[in-house]
Structure 1
């Protein structure tokens, strides 16, 4: 009981320290089929969230559980590998606050931001590929030379997914390729760090396999699953920036989102 009260106090403190206005998430999922069947599950979620926040601020990632037996809750949180510690901290605190606002009665919840991801569930999902929920963003504009673009995109994706599968890279891969003297293609992939090498590769292959359906010939695309993330753009969007590059904050009004649920 004392431990729970301590974590609730920490949770209250960090919620109060977050600015009132937060960035909007890219998407969320509250599983209405898995409700908080007991007050103990709700208490365990409240105890789990500050652990996820603390661990992610320290390490950029954490996967842990809270509670015992049938009321045990499992959680995972992770920041994008290229973002700063400050941006990671801000994002994961926003995520923990917003997920409790949006999924008040559910025991299976996920929330995606540009810089981070957070989820919890009463089922142990660690180490398992989860592509049951997909969020897709694609640019409404098409490229002018689809054949050349798709060939270069495929080669770049092969390169960075191979990077992500290397154990020392912790599921991360990113790179760029020149399409012309004036145009560069940027891409990033990332798995949640609980996934071993093979499941990470499987998740990324599934995500990239959606390109022909949702992002065919598009200037930009994001595929967000609970186990991996894939994105490409015709402007720099990840860190570190090379000399002469500026991080571009393109308006999301030029993008369309699609949510795929079971």
Structure 2
């Protein structure tokens, strides 16, 4: 009995660690942008911003997208379309906690995490198209440089994102061979503006990432990304850069994708360990039952 209880405790510990790593991946920082203009601490606008961010965090408990306005500030958040409701709420709460230290007293700011984005400001950005490039990241290039098969699959996968259409906030995904692709617009723009934004993002990710095996771009109101597997690549590390928009200073970025990938690997390993522990518990239970039946 003591052995069984020990294994159960081990299983619960492994599962809790796995869940923690999984949640941490959704909160991974990608970039942030801060306006040069500041607000005074204790001012009416500061109170409006704090109230707005708190309301956005509350709204995330029941929705994957929301836009809110106060007397002088506008704000929105949106979670990636393939993210679960609990992970969405967790990501938005993390964005609310991360944004003020990154952009202290900024009159307008945006933050992009792996699973969600958030933006607020005293300008009328809600409902307006914005295809300015905020952030780009390109993966390694295959060892042989240009790979016709890879580029063909990439173009087909990205092309399906443009063809799929959908409303403003619709999450789009596509695949061709070993290449996966995804795109999504902010929910405050029209279906037509969304299609135009995705088309622009697809064109830009192909242009800036060239022959790379993976790439992603974030524009003002949408993102597009692709990833391929099965191609050996050079040891060069993925590069990232950004450009400024008319609203924000050049977004700041932290090199974090390697940590994100390692976190996923750790979560997979821990999940496997939890599965093995569960199997051991089951076999132990069967063995004990067999021994008890033999004695009877």
TM-score, with length taken from structure 1: 0.75
Q: In the aligned structure 2, how far is the partner of 1:161 from the partner of 1:31?
A: 31
Aligned residues: 214
TM-score, with length taken from structure 2: 0.67
Higher-Rg member (1/2): 2
The answer to whether the Cα contact below 8 Å between 1:143 and 1:149 also exists between their aligned partners in 2 is no
Q: In the aligned structure 2, how far is the partner of 1:58 from the partner of 1:143?
A: 46
Match of 1:152 in 2: 153
- Following superposition, the deviation at residue 150 of structure 1 comes to 2.2
Is 1:201 the counterpart of 2:199? The answer is: no
Please tell me the root mean square deviation across aligned C-alpha atoms, in Å: 2.3
Structure-to-structure mapping, 1:22-171, within 5 angstroms: 23-32=27-36, 34-36=37-39, 39-66=43-70, 68=71, 72-142=72-142, 144=144, 146-163=147-164, 165-167=165-167, 170-171=169-170
- Following superposition, the deviation at residue 143 of structure 1 comes to 6.8
Note closer, same or farther for the CA distance 1:172–1:161 as it changes in structure 2 (3 Å cut): farther
Q: In the aligned structure 2, how far is the partner of 1:133 from the partner of 1:160?
A: 18
Q: Which runs of 5+ in 2 are unaligned?
A: 1-22, 230-235, 246-296
- Following superposition, the deviation at residue 211 of structure 1 comes to 2.6
Match of 2:212 in 1: 218
Note closer, same or farther for the CA distance 1:93–1:80 as it changes in structure 2 (3 Å cut): same
Q: In the aligned structure 2, how far is the partner of 1:199 from the partner of 1:43?
A: 33
Q: Which runs of 5+ in 1 are unaligned?
A: 1-20, 179-183, 236-252
Match of 2:171 in 1: 172
- Following superposition, the deviation at residue 76 of structure 1 comes to 0.7
Q: Deviations over 1:178-215 (max 9, x none)?
A: 1xxxxx11110000111111111111122112134321
Match of 1:242 in 2: none
The answer to whether the Cα contact below 8 Å between 1:176 and 1:187 also exists between their aligned partners in 2 is yes
Larger helix share, 1 or 2: 2
- Following superposition, the deviation at residue 37 of structure 1 comes to 5.8
Q: In the aligned structure 1, how far is the partner of 2:206 from the partner of 2:160?
A: 19
- Following superposition, the deviation at residue 78 of structure 1 comes to 0.5
Bigger mean CA offset, 34-43 vs 201-210: 34-43
The answer to whether the Cα contact below 8 Å between 1:139 and 1:221 also exists between their aligned partners in 2 is yes
- Following superposition, the deviation at residue 56 of structure 1 comes to 2.4
Q: In the aligned structure 1, how far is the partner of 2:215 from the partner of 2:131?
A: 17
Q: In the aligned structure 1, how far is the partner of 2:154 from the partner of 2:148?
A: 10
Q: In the aligned structure 1, how far is the partner of 2:243 from the partner of 2:132?
A: 8
The answer to whether the Cα contact below 8 Å between 1:143 and 1:217 also exists between their aligned partners in 2 is no
Q: In the aligned structure 1, how far is the partner of 2:175 from the partner of 2:49?
A: 40
Q: In the aligned structure 2, how far is the partner of 1:197 from the partner of 1:153?
A: 24
Q: Deviations over 1:207-231 (max 9, x none)?
A: 1121343210101111112310111
